[in-house]
A and B are shown apart, each in its own frame.
Chain A
Amino acid sequence: MSGHSSYTPKTGIEKWIDARMPLPRLAYDSFVAFPVPRNLNYAYTFGGILAIMLVIQILTGVVLAMHYAANTGLAFESVEKIMRDVNSGWLLRYMHANGASFFFVAVYIHIYRGLYYGSYKAPRELLWILGVLIFFLMMATAFMGYVLPWGQMSFWGATVITGFFTAFPVIGESIQQFLLGGFAVDNPTLNRFFSLHYLLPFMLVGVVILHVWALHVTGQTNPTGIEVKHKTDTVAFTPYATIKDAFAMVVFLAVFAYFVFYMPNFLGHPDNYIVADPLKTPAHIVPEWYFLPFYAILRGITFNIGPIDSKLGGVIAMFGSIAVLFVLPWLDTSKVRSAAYRPWYKLFFWLFVIDTIFLGWLGSRPAEGTYVTMAQIATLYYFCFFLIIMPVLGLIETPKRLPNSITEAVLEKNKGGAHAQPAGAAAAPETKG
């Protein structure tokens, strides 16, 4: 895709480095000359937004670790000290706590975008799988990070989530004790969670590099889903994509800042301002909002399935809801990539979006009465979407007529509009401006 390099070192120093370790060449080819489809919309800017969020989380995390004490007797107080006494400590901590939420906001939009435009389809299966791996690592990191302030929700969240493993027959109990380093969540748990919470983001960076590498091999998809065929289909990454990404990033960060400065506790839970008490469970244990859909799936399985009891069934369904994403590229049988040309898929996709948000809301409700039934219906649709609708719809749906190329699609869209230009003017966009 990227073809041969167009980097030409100019000065002596650049030539010297290029002959020894062509890092500037790599950067130039990846982030300057790299051709991106000209028709990308703002849904495609979330990759860059995720990158900046990861950087913010790592930077704020590293400095918070300078003040944090991973000990059950000190953790809560050290966080309060950060909030009260450390210079700019309140800002760093609120950035880190809300940053986790906004990281997930961005990753969910990024995933929905991938589902809508069929970004997981050949030849981008590995790119997609690496992305799911990143999502999984993010969830593990966020979960362990939430335990660190050692509030009531930290403690009981950790107790409930590690309790999943007791669902597995025979070995379950031992697995839980192995994870906790004891019989209950306690100092050994807090210590190892802190260690892993510090480690995992750097592993995440590693997978992100692979994700970006895979992206640069296949090139980006685009809203039409048609592969790039000609040079006129693309523009250079810099300045076109960079400036668009930068604009989207700042808008996203403005919303983030609004929460950090004006509603820093909106996304958190008040009970986490109460120090952990192993003898007293809060009335409703609710995970952070970004786990709620999965939590609803877990609680939706209230019945035994053959030899599998409801507890194990819930755990399997919850892990299954993420595991299914790994095989998604082989579940979709459609020849057409983008939902823009698949009227039925588009409908089911939006139903899926509503379904996941609905699951999230159900996850925040107590598991009783009609909420359980609704969670079961929503869970059913979640799995049907991947396991039935995707394979079947691809075979029976009649897609709309596809344009021949990206350029054609763009010109068609702009026909009669103020931006209409003769084809010749658009033929070599990267030589202009």
Chain B
Amino acid sequence: MKTILKGFAALGLGMALVTGALGAEEGGHSAAEPTHFPIKKPAYQEWSFAGPFGHYDKAQLQRGLKIYKEVCSACHSMKRVAFRDLEELGYSEDQVKAFAAEYEVEDGPNGDGEMFTRAAKPSDYFPSPFPNVEAAAAANNGAAPPDFSLLAKARAVERGFPNFIFDVFTMYQEQGPDYIHALLTGYNEQPPEGMEIPEGTHYNPYFIAGKSLAMAQPIDDGVVSFDDGSPETLEQYSHDVAAFMMWAAEPKLEDRKKTGFRVMMFMLVFAGLLYLTKRKVWSNVDH
């Protein structure tokens, strides 16, 4: 077993050397014509749901919902989230009912075979701003705004070696919200000299798939009002909506981390007991 461990140590060293050499080789791209995106990596943000005891900040999610409703939902659907799910944000059943009733959904066919619209109920899902992807693309310069329900899990800037190994130990799983925050706050930067930005797109060095994207800066200071005294700034909005999107994508996160802690504790105790038992059993045998 010792030789195996020694081997792994040697192996790790070898890997580090090889990739170190490679890292030196990368870089050296022209600033005007980058080939790898995003141009800038998102900065780490503080999230209440990070780490082993992570939990959602309900006030923050409520603010995020307000931003989604007042700003994002004009173009972005969130079709896998139902109104009933909003109870997890700390709303009562009646509040959810009232919230849902503000939306119209299509139902039917009725007795005459006609589709009709009615006020949404908690069991309904968030209605989409466009009837289908084609309509969404047609209304937005050919780029359909992505659905919000899973976006926080569907966007992750590549971590690269050796970060992805450190991530295992730091439990870093917040690439999605970090990316969303970076993108929303990244519009005010100017493209480097000589870079050509295609018409109808907007430069953002944090965009994951190119130098510019079809979405113009969607939100800025003061656009959404909060009644809990939180600052009405772009910085705050970006955090709140990113947290909200993380909840929309992974609503069971709290449950998962709570269960996880109990399971890990049990596993440690059980493994300890098994180890002691194993030692007892083997105590009379040379091996």
Give chain A's interface residues, CB within 8 Å of chain B.
38-43, 77, 80, 83-84, 90-91, 94, 116, 235, 239-240, 243-244, 246-247, 250-251, 253-254, 257-258, 260-266, 270-271, 273-274, 283, 340, 346, 350, 353-354, 357-358, 361, 370, 410-411, 414, 419-421, 425-426, 429, 432-433
Q: Residue of B at shortest CB range from A268? A: B153
Q: List 19 A-B contacts (CB under 8 A).
A: A40-B287, A43-B1, A91-B259, A94-B256, A243-B281, A246-B278, A250-B274, A257-B264, A260-B260, A261-B256, A262-B52, A262-B260, A263-B167, A265-B173, A266-B168, A358-B15, A411-B286, A420-B286, A432-B285
A interface majority secondary structure: helix
A247-B278, A270-B153, A350-B11 known; A84 and B283 CB under 8 Å? no
Query: How many B residues face the partner with a CB closer than 8 A?
Result: 57
With A38-B287, A240-B285, A410-B286 already in contact, 5 other A-B pairs whose C-beta atoms are closer than 8 Å: A84-B85, A240-B282, A250-B267, A270-B176, A426-B285
How far in angstroms is the closest Cβ of chain A from B42? Answer: 13
How far in angstroms is the closest Cβ of chain B from A30? Answer: 19
Contact status A246-B274, CB under 8 Å: yes
Query: Is residue B188 contacting chain A, with contact meaning CB distance below 8 A?
Result: no
Contact status A426-B3, CB under 8 Å: no
A273 to B149, CA, bound (A): 10
A38 to B281, CA, bound (A): 12
Q: Which residues of A contact B260 (CB under 8 A)?
A: 257-258, 260-262
Query: Is residue B184 contacting chain A, with contact meaning CB distance below 8 A?
Result: no
Q: In B130-161, which residues have CB < 8 Å from any A CB?
A: 146, 149-150, 153-156, 161
Contact status B286-A42, CB under 8 Å: no
A262-B260, A357-B11 known; A38 and B161 CB under 8 Å? no
Query: Is residue B103 contacting chain A, with contact meaning CB distance below 8 A?
Result: no
Contact status A38-B278, CB under 8 Å: no
Query: Is residue B209 contacting chain A, with contact meaning CB distance below 8 A?
Result: yes
Q: Which residues of A contact B30 (CB under 8 A)?
A: none
Query: Is residue B284 contacting chain A, with contact meaning CB distance below 8 A?
Result: yes
A121 to B14, CA, bound (A): 30
Contact status A243-B264, CB under 8 Å: no
A430 to B150, CA, bound (A): 57
Q: Which residues of A contact B115 (CB under 8 A)?
A: none
Q: Which residues of A contact B286 (CB under 8 A)?
A: 38, 410-411, 414, 419-421, 426, 429
A64 to B168, CA, bound (A): 27
Query: Is residue B119 contacting chain A, with contact meaning CB distance below 8 A?
Result: no
Closest 10 CB pairs of A and B: A261-B260, A273-B154, A254-B267, A247-B274, A270-B156, A429-B285, A432-B284, A90-B252, A273-B150, A41-B1
A354-B11, A354-B14, A370-B22 known; A262 and B257 CB under 8 Å? yes
A263 to B249, CA, bound (A): 15
B interface majority secondary structure: helix
Q: How many A-B residue pairs have CB under 8 A?
A: 140
A186 to B255, CA, bound (A): 35
How far in angstroms is the closest Cβ of chain B from A433? Answer: 5
A83 to B52, CA, bound (A): 20
Q: Which residues of A contact B156 (CB under 8 A)?
A: 270
A258-B264, A353-B11 known; A270 and B154 CB under 8 Å? yes
Q: Residue of B at shortest CB range from A249? A: B274
A38 to B252, CA, bound (A): 46
A39 to B251, CA, bound (A): 49
How far in angstroms is the closest Cβ of chain A from B8? Answer: 8
Q: Which residues of B contact A253 (CB under 8 A)?
A: 267
A254-B264, A257-B264, A353-B11 known; A361 and B249 CB under 8 Å? no
Q: Which residues of B contact A262 (CB under 8 A)?
A: 52, 171, 173, 257, 260
A38-B286, A426-B286 known; A274 and B264 CB under 8 Å? no
How far in angstroms is the closest Cβ of chain B from A169? Answer: 35
Q: Which residues of A contact B264 (CB under 8 A)?
A: 254, 257-258, 261
Q: Which residues of B contact A43 (CB under 8 A)?
A: 1, 4
How far in angstroms is the closest Cβ of chain A from B126? Answer: 13
Query: Is residue B32 contacting chain A, with contact meaning CB distance below 8 A?
Result: no
Contact status B271-A251, CB under 8 Å: yes
Contact status A274-B154, CB under 8 Å: yes
A433 to B281, CA, bound (A): 6
A261-B256, A283-B209, A370-B25 known; A266 and B167 CB under 8 Å? yes
Contact status B154-A250, CB under 8 Å: no
Contact status A254-B271, CB under 8 Å: yes
Q: Which residues of A contact B282 (CB under 8 A)?
A: 240, 243-244, 433
Contact status B11-A261, CB under 8 Å: no
Q: Which residues of A contact B252 (CB under 8 A)?
A: 83-84, 90
Query: Is residue B231 contacting chain A, with contact meaning CB distance below 8 A?
Result: no
Contact status A263-B168, CB under 8 Å: yes
A257 to B261, CA, bound (A): 10
Contact status B153-A273, CB under 8 Å: yes
Contact status B270-A250, CB under 8 Å: yes
How far in angstroms is the closest Cβ of chain B from A163? Answer: 24
A239 to B85, CA, bound (A): 50
Q: Residue of A at shortest CB range from B270? A: A250
Q: Residue of A at shortest CB range from B249? A: A273
Query: Is residue B7 contacting chain A, with contact meaning CB distance below 8 A?
Result: yes
How far in angstroms is the closest Cβ of chain B from A141? Answer: 25
Q: In B162-187, which residues have CB < 8 Å from any A CB?
A: 167-168, 171, 173, 175-176
Q: Which residues of B contact A240 (CB under 8 A)?
A: 281-282, 285
How far in angstroms is the closest Cβ of chain B from A149? Answer: 11
How far in angstroms is the closest Cβ of chain B from A24? Answer: 23
A250-B267, A254-B264, A254-B271 known; A433 and B285 CB under 8 Å? yes
How far in angstroms is the closest Cβ of chain A from B30? Answer: 16
